[in-house]
Structures are given as structure tokens and as C-alpha cells.
Structure 1
Amino acid sequence: MVSLSRFMGSFVCGALSRFARDRRGNVSVIVVFSILPMLICVGGGLDVVRTYNVRVKMQADLDAALVAAVRELGTSDEAKIQTKVRQWFEAQTAANDGAYTLGAITIDKANQSISAKASGSVGTSLMSLINVDELPIDVRASVRGPSTSYLNVYIVVDNSPSMLLAATKAEQDRMQAKIGCAFACHTPEGTRTVDGITFSDNYTYSQAAGIRLRSDVAVDAATKVIDLIDVADKEHRAIKVGLYTVGDAAKQVLAPTFSTATARTKLKSKTDGMNGATASTATYFDKSLPQLQDFVGTAGDGKTADQPLKLVLFLTDGVQSQREWVSTNRWIGRQVAPLNPAWCAGMKTNKATLGVLYTEYLPMTWDWGYNATVGNSMAAADWNAVYGGVMRSGVRGSTTRQAYLPYALEDCSSSKDLFISAASPTAITTGLAKIFNTYLGTVRLTQ
């Protein structure tokens, strides 16, 4: 009698022998054994892609946190800056339920930079089958802003007759009603008698009547920038400020200096040239802007005091004009036109950054002089023939010169975010400061 063990052994061996000789199921067997590695490979690829996407988001969050904090280098202590970085980073990554950890934050006030690193992990899916439950992530970032380098700020104010426009609509109407003109010009055109009092010119009347002019608002705007310089550079070791005017020529009122107190004194002076009391009689941008270029010179990299970065803040209505050009004679009146942006190019070629605040030239359709010049078309100005100007593609020649001014001045600026158009006194006063802050906020990611 055959034992049970011998029977079972013979049965198993026979079954295995028959399975080995059978060719009908080999493909299925191979597929079965291949499924797991294939799933792991596909799942691993998906895990790696997801980890990469999370890392990109994490890097952007860290960059944003440092960019938000770098503006406070000159105004906050290190502990507050570190807190701001953490709060901003945590706010950006809140959706990840704390999966990220912000590590060391390094603040270098000497070089005015902030560095930080962050780490985290992403849970895997099918890679867990081979005991890989998560993939690590590490990112680093470092930022430095131009406000922390050596910087010369050139505040340039248009002091032409058109900047002597009454600052508000109400004051323009008042000027028009009293003396028949909304501009407080110095140009001798006969005396003005108002309520029994005789004034030598429009400007004298405006001052006696307490009417604020755009030239007054321009001084307010410049003062606002100086206030911001005091905040950004409390020790007055990095940022210099200079004061300039453009009209019939470019004039240096104050060479770049660390003394913001001196700059404020010059702005308030009635004799130093920054306000309406000493306005020029014409605006020749084709002459004054190249002259300004010579004053500004070539910008450096900001790393040393003798190689400062250079920021030009230009406040203007952008109209090339003189009083005698206001005429219905086409050949004379065509000279009143927007400045040619090519006249700004030299400063930009010399690596200076040019920010422009356009003090909007308000339409005065009831005035014959406006209608014959600024209110007339670009085609009638013969802009290319007279000044070499090239209009933007797609802008019609029928566009009025007043409507084309923002195009010309935006093209004069270094970039769109350094151009602002403003009409009200408040918008003008804050506009130049906004451009300054925009420049200070354009930080450079160094890592």
C-alpha cells in the first residue's frame, strides 16, 4: 500500500511537471508578475510630478514672503521682520495643513538682504508599496531691494507756464470768472483789475487770492518723496536727493545730497526755482531733457557710494510749448505738441531708471487757444516732421494731442509700472510717492 506522503509528493511533482510543459498560460503569468512593478513605476512618476509641483508652489510662497518683508528692512527690527516672513509664509501655505516648515531666516542689514529656507514633504501613493511613504522638499530664497543700495533720486519738476494752471476745477472756474484765464502766467499781457485792486499779472492775482496752482501741488508731491526717503534711509547714508526743473532749459536747484532738510528748504523757497514764483516762459523738452541727461550722468550698480543707482522722478504735463505758439495759424500752432519720448532715451541708455507722473492736461474746449493747439489732432501737429516723433502703432492721426500725451509720457518712462497719470491735487501729491515706492519695491531675487 502506497503511503499518503509518497502519494502527495508524486501528485505535486506531476502537477508541477505538467504546468511547466504547458505553454498556453505563460503570457498571463508574465503579465501577473509584471503588474506590480509597472504600477510602482507609474505611481512613482505621478508622485514625483506632484512633488515637483508642490515644490514650485512652495518656492513661490517663500519668494513672496521675502519680497513682502524686504521693504521693512529700513523701518523694522530683525525680530519683526522674521515674524512678518513667517506670518506671510504660513498664510500662503495654510491650505497645506502645516505640511511645510519654515527654517532659519537670515537677515543681513549691512547688505540689506533677507535669506530663508523651508522644508516639507509630500505623501506618496503607490510608492508606499516599496516603503517610500513620503518625498522630501527643500527650498531656499534670498532677496535684496534697490532701496538698500546706494541710490541717487533726481526729482524733476516741469516749471513751464502750463503748470501754473489752477489746481482744482473750482479754482479754475474762479480764475476764469475773475480774470478770464485759468492759468496764473507771469507773461506780461496787461494788468488785471479785480474788485478794485490792480495786479501786474495773473500769477500776482492768484497768490493774492490764495489760489493753489499745479506748481504748488508739484512741490507737495516732491515733499512727499523726501518724507519717504527719510523713512527708507533713516541714517542718511545710502539715498541722496537732488532737485531739478525743466522748462526753457534744465536747471539744477540742488545737487544730490544726503540732507533732506536742505531739500525741503529749497522746495519752499520762492527764489530757488522749484515753484510757480520762478516759472519759465516756455517748455523746450528737446533742449532741456538732453541737458538733464548731463546732470544725471551714468548710473552704477549701487554697490558703492561712487557708483549709485539713479532714479529720475519726472513730474510734467508733457506739452512742448511757448506762449507765442498759441495761435490759429497752423504752422505756428503745430509746435504745441506732446514731447517726443526719444528725448528721454538718453537717460535710460545711461542706465538711469525714469519714472514719470503725468499731471493730466485737462481739456478746455471752451478756449480757442486749447482747441487750436493741444485740442487739435496729432496729424495737424506734423509731429514727425517738426519733432521727429513716431506715433504708436494703431493710434490714429485724428487723436488729439491732449489724448496722445499719456502715450508719449508712458513711452518716456522706463516701464509701465513707473508711469502714473493724475489729475486731482491728491492724486498728483501721492502719485510721485507711489512711483518711488514701486521702484523701492522692485526687489531682486538673488537665490
Structure 2
Amino acid sequence: MLRRAMLCFATDRKANVAIIFALTMVPIIFLLGMTLDYTLALRKREQLNAAADAAAIAAVRPAMLTQTTKSVIEATATAVFAAKANLPGLVAVPTPTVTVTDVGLARTITVSYVAQSVNNFPGVLGKQTWQVSGSSTAKASSAPNMNFYLLLDDSPSMALAATQTDIDNMVLATKNQPTYAKNCAFACHEAHPNNAAPSSSNKDNLTVARANNITLRIDLVTNAVKQLMVGPWTCPQSGTSGGVMQCMSALNNTTYQAAIYTFDYALNTIQTLTTPSTAGTKIGNIQLLTVDHQNCPVLNGSGGCIYTTDYGTDISKGLTDLNAAMPNPGDGSATGTPQEVVFLVTDGVEDKLIPKSGGSCDSNATYPLPSANSTTARCQQPLNTAICDTIKSRNIRIAILYTEYLQLPSDGWYTSRIAQFNNPTSSTGTIAQRLQSCASPGLYANVQNGGDISKALTDLFIKVASSTASLVQ
């Protein structure tokens, strides 16, 4: 009887699904519990990674980059991490490991942690917590101490009226000038207009421009320099007065010095290296090149013309002479030597004298070159960038603001001698290309006639002076 009952039970197939389900519930519950706890642990890890990111970035903010005590840096990162890592479901708020590495001006911060996420099914997994870990690394460089050398074009081409309205007014104001200066958009500065003593009836075009309140390109450059060194400039750093340089110096906790030079056919010292505020007091000395009269820029000791053609822009010589005046740069650290930066503001066309024998002018210049005297010729060309390479090889950066050379299709001299370097547009021609090649990477800007030179120069300066922080991982 018992044997029959056991045989029937063994061969009976009724309710087999329920039995199989009951048997599989154990691994299913195990898998569900493990999945839930693992998912919650991953979520905690993401939140803790975000806390580590915030802590690392906090330790390389500009204000912290000036801090040299590692314990203070570590405490700052730890506090930020703790504030954001106080999450439910952890056994305790983890204490991060903060590593600070300084190399020169560069700082690297690594924030790492190990945390225990509480399991909801400890019995299933056989342990009370699930361990999670992670790290974040941020890098930034302190803003360096820098010396800025402003090299400003004061040649006759910078006497161009500043806007189209100014050009129209200048042309109208010069309608009664002598033939060579009549209906001219340039306010050329002559000591002896029309080769005669100046008088109420014999004025150079600069005098005409000033009498008619016409703004010139050189005026815009002067105003741009004034905004850099004198202001007014609205600075987010409270209690800071002056211009952009003073503001950025305060924000970055750095020391800036500034020098002002102009160039025409020679380098002219307006102010040697000093504080921006002191240099700013000499801005009024930035003036256009004065020539004696047309086609006679310079007189000899007897009052005769040394050269019989106009000239007055030698960018290469300006850069060469400035290079000789600049010391070797350092890394800009608090205990080191400042970095050196050249700020060149120019329209990019050289108009200089070269020897007829052995002199070199651009192969695309218009030949024959105009004669200046028996041994000298006049060369008009874009900048030869060889001197730029020499300066940059010394680890001196070059920032360039190109005040675009105005296209003058109705002017015969322009079309025959300059246009080939300034086409298809003043923004894309050879002149612009050479200046962009001269500038250090990322430190080139251009502004068209009538554009805001002050904003362009300020933006370029801020780009040089700014430092940023970035996450590495």
C-alpha cells in the first residue's frame, strides 16, 4: 500500500509549475536583492564623484592658487567634499584623500575616496555594505606676473580718420588744402606744410582735423591704452580703481608692469617698464610721426631733404629694437622672473627705406621701387615675420591687434603698390596673414575701420591675463 502511494506521488504531474516556481524563488529573490543594492551603490558612486569634482575644482580656483600652504588647500577640498558627500544610505561620510602637486605655476589636485553603501538585503548578499570608490583630478595654472610692452604704430597711416563719417568730414574739411593734401582722409602731421612756415592760412591736415573735431585712428589707439592703464573700468574686485590692468592684477593676485613704445621709422620710448598707473601718466605723449613736409620727412643739418620720398613705418625695426630692450623672461611665479609679453598695434604695412644695393623687399612688391636718394629706395610690404620668430624663440609671447588697412580702390598709389597685399579683403589678405603668423597662438585680433579698438585691445589683454581650471578625469 505504501509502495503504491509513493509510486503515484512520483508519477503525478499535477501542480508541477507551482513547485518549480517555489524552487526558483530563492535565486530570483537573491538576484533582485543584489541588483537593487548594486544599483543604489552605483548611484551613490555618481553622487560622490560629483562631490570629488567640486572639491578638486574648488582647490584650483584663482583665490586658492595663491595659497601655498598645502594643509589649507587640502582642508578646503575636504570641506567642499564633505558638504556634498553627506548622503543617505552611507555608513558614514567618507574622508577623502587630497593630493596637491605644484609644478611651477601649474597645480594639480586629486581627490579620491572610499565609501560604504548600506545594503538593503544584507542577508542575501552576505554582507552589510557595498564598497564604492572613485577619484577626480583638476588642473589649473596661477596667473603669472607679467611685463607688458605696448608697441604702437604712430606712422602717418595711423592718421586715417577713424570712421566713415570721420573720413567724409575729413575729405570735406581739406577741400581748400594744397593739391597734395586736398580732399584727403589722412591727417598728416607736417612741421612745414607745403614746404613753408605754418600759419593761419598754411595748415597741415592734422591741424585741420583737430579744428574740426575729427577723430583719428591714433586717437582710438590712445583711448584703448588709456582704458588699459587708467580707466575708468568697472572691476568686479571691490576697492580696485584704475584700468583693466589694475583690475586683472587684483583679481589674479599678480603683479603687472607696463612699458609704452611707439614706432615709425625708429623705436620711440614713451615710458620704460613701470607700474601701469605710472605708465598711464605718459599716454598723452603718444603722438603721430611729424615729417617736415611732403616727400621730405627728414632734414639734414643744412635744412635740405635727406630723402625725397615719404616713408615712416618700419615694424621689423621696432620689434628688433624692442627685443634688444627686453630681458629674458621667467616663469612668472612669485619667486621668479616675470613673463614678457609684447602688445603690437599696427595696420601691418611697412613703408621703409632699404639700400639699393643689397637691400631686400617683398618679392610681390611693385618694382621698380621708388627712389629715396642715390643709395636708398622705398620699400612697401607686409611684415617679414623673421623677427617675430626670433622673439618667440625666447619664450616671449606676442599679442597683435591688427587695425585693418583700409582698402582704397580709387587711390592710384594704393592700387599699384598695396592692393596686392590686401586682397581679397583686409581681413584675409597677405597683410593679415603675416600678422597672424607673427602672433603667438590665440593672441591675434583684428578690428576694421570704425570698430571698437578699446574693446578689442581689452579683450586681447584679458585673454593673455586669464587663467582657467579644468577637470582631467
Q: Give how far 1:426 is off.
A: 5.1
Partner of 1:82: none
Q: Residue 369 of structure 2: which of 332, 335, 339 is its match? A: 332
Partner residue in 2 for 1:415: 441
Aligned AA (1:143):
A
Say if 1:408 and 1:377 are closer, same or farther in 2 by CA, change over 3 A: closer
**Structure 2: distance between partners of 1:362 and 1:120:** 64
Which residue in the other structure is 1:427 paired with? 452
- TM-score if structure 2 supplies the norm length? 0.61
Return the offset for 1:343: 2.1
1:436 to 445, 452, 461: 461
Partner Cα distance (2:328, 2:414) in 1: 38
1:399-446 per-position Cα deviation (integer Å, ceiling 9, x unaligned): 578742221111111113x11111255521111111111112134779
Between the aligned partners of 2:188 and 2:458, the Cα distance in structure 1 is: 28
Work out whether 1:209 is the aligned partner of 2:212: yes
Is 1:371 aligned to residue 415 of structure 2? Answer: yes
Deviation at 1:215, TM superposition (A): 0.7
Q: Give, in angstroms, the shift of residue 168 of structure 1.
A: 0.6
**Match of 1:222, as an amino acid?**
V
Summarize the alignment of residues 88-99 of structure 1 with structure 2, pairs less than 5 Å apart.
Answer: none
- Pairwise CA distance, 1:201: 1.5
Task: Give the superposition deviation at 1:283.
Answer: 0.9
Q: How does 1:260-409 map to 2 (within 5 A)?
A: 260-269=276-285, 274-276=286-288, 282-304=312-334, 307-322=337-352, 330-332=367-369, 335-377=379-421, 403-404=428-429, 405-409=431-435
**Are 1:246 and 2:272 an aligned pair?**
no
User: Is it true that 1:154 corresponds to 2:170 in the alignment?
Assistant: no
Query: Does the 8 A contact of 2:106 with 2:139 survive in 1?
Result: no
8 Å CA contact 1:114, 1:143 repeated in 2:
yes
Where structure 2 has 5 or more consecutive residues not aligned to the other structure, the ranges are: 11-26, 67-76, 100-104, 175-182, 230-242, 292-296, 298-310, 355-360, 371-377
Question: Which residue identity is paired with 2:448?
Answer: A
Preserved CA contact (<8 Å) 2:116 2:132: yes
> What residue is the counterpart of 1:391 in the other structure?
none
Counterpart Cα distance in 2 of 1:145 and 1:160: 38
Q: What is the number of residues matched between the two proteins? A: 369
Residue by residue over 1:294-327, the C-alpha shift from the partner in whole angstroms, topping out at 9 and shown as x without a partner, is 12232111125761111211111111115999xx
Quote how far apart the aligned CAs of 1:255 are: 1.2
Counterpart secondary structure, 1:332: coil
Q: Which has the higher mean CA deviation after the structures are superposed, 300-309 or 312-321?
A: 300-309
TM-score w.r.t. the length of structure 1 is 0.64
- Aligned positions of 1:182-261 closer than 5 A: 182-187=185-190, 190-191=193-194, 198-226=201-229, 227-234=243-250, 238-258=255-275, 260-261=276-277
CA–CA separation in structure 2 for the residues paired with 1:407 and 1:124: 63
Matched, 1:70 2:62: yes
Deviation by residue 1:112-142 (Cα, 9 ceiling, x = unmatched): 98979587989899x9975664623333536
Q: Give the match for residue 390 of structure 1.
A: none
Q: Distance in 2 between matches of 1:119 and 1:204?
A: 73
SS of the aligned residue for 1:331 comes to coil
> Do 2:427 and 2:446's aligned partners in 1 also have CA atoms closer than 8 Å?
no
Instruction: Work out the percentage of aligned pairs sharing the same amino acid.
Output: 23
Deviations 1:51-98 (A, max 9, x none): 99999987777676677x528989xxxxxxxxxx9xx99xxx9xx9xx
Give the residue type in structure 2 aligned to 1:261: S
Question: Is 1:55–1:139's contact at 8 Å kept on the other side of the alignment?
Answer: no
**Aligned residues of 1:145 and 1:444 also touching (Cα < 8 A):** no
Over aligned residues, Cα RMSD in angstroms? Answer: 5.4
User: Displacement of 1:252 after TM fit?
Assistant: 2.3
**Deviations 1:156-207, CA, capped at 9 Å, x for gaps:** 1111111111111111122123321111112579549xxx963432112112
Write the letter of the residue equivalent to 2:134. Answer: I
Q: Does the aligned pair in 2 maintain the 1:285–1:339 contact within 8 Å?
A: yes
Q: Answer yes or no: is 1:175 the counterpart of 2:170.
A: yes
CA contact (8 A) 1:159 1:276 kept: yes
SS of equivalent to 1:355: strand
Query: 2 CA distance for matches of 1:209 and 1:255?
Result: 34
Amino acid at match of 2:369: I
8 Å contact 2:404–2:426 — kept in the other structure? no
